[in-house]
Structure 1
Amino acid sequence: MYVVSYFTDADEALHLAYSHDGEEFAPVNGGRPVLRGTVGTGRLRDPFIGLGPDGLFHLLATDGWTSPYIVHATSADLVSWSEQRLVPVMARVQGALNAWAPEFFLDRATGLYHLIWSSVVEPGATAEGRDFEHLTQDHRIWHCTTEDFRTFSAPGIFFDPGHSVIDATVRELSGGGFLMAFKDERGVNDIATAHKDIHLTTFDVPGGPYATPNGPVTPSLAEGPSLFRRDGDWIMIFDHFLEGRYGAVRSRDGGAWEPVLLGLPEGMRHASVLETSASVLEVSALDALAAR
C-alpha cells in the first residue's frame, strides 16, 4: 500500500491520499486536511511520513519559509496524531535562516535515523525581508541523527556539491548503499532557465563520498522529488511547481529514467510517498476517510 502526504497552496496543512497499486491515488477526507499545524507558524509544508523505531508513523514538516525549526508528530494509524512539537534543528546555528523539506531515513549499519533538510546559513544576515518564495538562495543539505526522535545530534552539512541544492530524499538500495534525489536550485523561476531540475546520486555511507550525479532526469522547474518502489521499478514523482501539476518517471536500475503516468490528487504540493503494509496500517481507517 502507498500513502502520499502533501500540502496545497490553498491549505498549508497535512493532506493524505492512498493507493493499493501505486498508480491511482485517492484523496482521503474529501481532499481536506487530516491535520493542521498547532505550533510555530501554524503551517505544515512539505510533509514527510516514515516509520520510526517505535513502530509509529513519524511526521516531519516545514514550519514556514523562515523558521529554523521543523515540526514533528507521531501516529499509530495516520488518523489520530500526537501533540506536535518543534525540533530546533538549526536554531543554534549562527546565521541559519530556514529549515526546509525535512525527511529521514534509517542507516541500518548504525541503527541511527538521519534527518535531512535544506538550509541557508549566512552569519550576520537575517531572514527578514528575504523573498524566499520567488528568489533563489544559497542552500545546502544539512542533517542530524537520532535513535529515538527525542534527542538529536548537533546539525552538520550532509551534501554540498558546491552550489545551491534543496529537497533531498533518500532511499535504501537493495544491494546496499543509498539512492538520493535532489533539486539543483541554481537558476531562476522561469521556464527558459538552466537548472531548477532533479538529479540523483548514490552513496554507501551517510555523508558521502557521493557518486557523480546523474541528471537532470526531469525538465527544469521541478522540485520536491519522492522515490518509491513498484513492481521492481523505481518511481519518482516531482512537483512542476510553477505549472500546478505533478510529473513522474520510472527506472529499472535508477540510472535510465522514462516518463510514467500516475493518477495523483489535484493541487498537490511537495508530496512524499510512504510504502507500508496492510498489517501495519489499518487500511479501513483510510478507506473510511476516503469515503467521506
Structure 2
Amino acid sequence: MKKIFIVIIIAVCTLSYSQKKKEIYLFTSFREPATEGLYLGYSEDGYHWKGLEGSFLKPEIGASKIMRDPSITKGADGTYHMVWTTDWKGGNGFGYASSKDLIHWSEQQYIPVMKNEPEVVNVWAPEIFYDDVKKEYIVIWASTIPFRFPKGAEEEKNNHRMYYVTTKDFKTFSDTKLYYDPGFSVIDCVIVKKAKKDYVLVLKDNTRPMRNIKVAFGKSPLGPFEKSSEPLTEYLSEGPTVVKVGKNWLLYYDNYGSKNYKALSTPDFVHFKDVSSKISLPEGHKHGTITTISSEVLKGLIDRK
C-alpha cells in the first residue's frame, strides 16, 4: 500500500511539473500602418490563437519609425531576440531588441547591414534562425540593389535577393553576404531545421506572375539550396512562418489577395494539406513568426499593466 501511495505521489508531481513547464506557442504580429509596434497572440495547440491586448514594444528607430515583420527567436539562454523592418524603402538596416519576458526590452538598435551598398533600395522582413550546431544566430533578409542581377520579370528597384549576417551576441556581426539567389526576385524567406543536416527554406517568389510560397531544400542553414518547388499557395500570398505541432509542421501564410490567413500541414515539406478551416487568428493579425514561451511568461504578458 505504501508503494502504491509513493507511485501516486510521483505521478502527481510529474504531471504538475510537466504542466508547469508546458510550452505555449507565441505568434508575433503588427498592425497597419505599422507605427504601433509589436502585437502578440498565443495558442496552446498551435491552431487557435488569442490576441494579447495592446502593443508590447513601440518602434523608436529607423527613418520611418515603423515595425513590420517582427521575428522573434528564443536563444539558448532563454533570452528573446527580435528583429524587424524599420522602413518600407530607403533604409539600409533593420531594428533589434531583446527581452527576457517580452515586457521589458533592451534599448532598440538599428543594425545597418547594407551600409556598404549605397544604392540599396530596402531591407525587408529580417528573420532570425538559431544554428544549434555552430551556436550562432543567422539573420536573413531581402534587399534590392539595382542592376546587380539579371532583370528578369521585375523592375530594377523590385528585383530582390536574400542576404545574411551571423552573430553570437547581436553586438558584433559577420560581413554581409549573399544568402540566396534563385534566379528570380525572392523575399520573405524562413529557415526550418527538418532534421540533422536537413534544412528547408520557405520562400516567396515575388515575381509579378507568381507572388506565392515555395520551398527549397539544403544540407546546411546557409545553403546551398536546391531548385525551388512548384507553388504551394495561390497567387498573392506571402509572409510564411513554420511551427512544429506534434509530428507535422504547420506553414502559416498571409493570403493577402483574399485578405485572410491560411495554413498548410506537412510531415515532410513535400506533401501538404490545407488546414485553413481548422485555424483561428486575432482580427487584424499581420505576418510575423512563431516561437514558444512558458506558462509563467504568458501569465506575465496577460497580467501586465
Q: With the length of structure 1 as denominator, give the TM-score of the two structures.
A: 0.87
User: Which of the residues 216, 229, 235 maps onto 1:220?
Assistant: 235
More divergent stretch after superposition (154-163 vs 105-114): 105-114
Question: Structure 1, residues 22-44: CA drift from partner, whole Å, max 9, x if none?
Answer: 11111102xx2221101112111
Q: Which 5+ residue runs of structure 2 have no aligned equivalent? A: 1-23, 149-155
1:59 maps onto 2:82 in alignment? yes
Q: Which residue of 1 aligns with 2:211?
A: 196
Across the aligned residues of Structure 1 and Structure 2, the Cα RMSD in angstroms comes to: 2.1
User: Which of the residues 281, 287, 295 maps onto 1:264?
Assistant: 281
In 2, Cα distance between equivalents of 1:10 and 1:110? 38
Q: Which 5+ residue runs of structure 1 have no aligned equivalent? A: 125-134, 188-193
Q: With the length of structure 2 as denominator, give the TM-score of the two structures.
A: 0.83
Code of the residue aligned with 2:125 in structure 1: it is: A
3-state DSSP class of the match of 2:178? Answer: strand
In 2, Cα distance between equivalents of 1:232 and 1:46? 27
Structure 1 residues 136 and 263, CA gap change in structure 2 (3 angstroms)? farther
Question: Structure 1, residues 33-71: CA drift from partner, whole Å, max 9, x if none?
Answer: 221101112111110110135431011000111211100
CA contact (8 A) 1:136 1:186 kept: no
> Following superposition of structure 1 onto structure 2, how do residues 1-292 of structure 1 map, counting pairs within 5 Å?
1-12=24-35, 13-29=37-53, 32-40=54-62, 41-66=64-89, 67-122=91-146, 137-187=158-208, 194-260=209-275, 261-278=278-295, 282-288=297-303
Q: In terms of Rg, which structure is larger? A: 2
In 1, Cα distance between equivalents of 2:56 and 2:50? 14
CA contact (8 A) 2:144 2:157 kept: no
In 2, Cα distance between equivalents of 1:195 and 1:264? 26
3-state DSSP class of the match of 2:243? Answer: strand
CA contact (8 A) 1:2 1:273 kept: yes
CA contact (8 A) 1:96 1:123 kept: no
3-state DSSP class of the match of 1:285? Answer: helix
Identity of aligned residues (%): 31
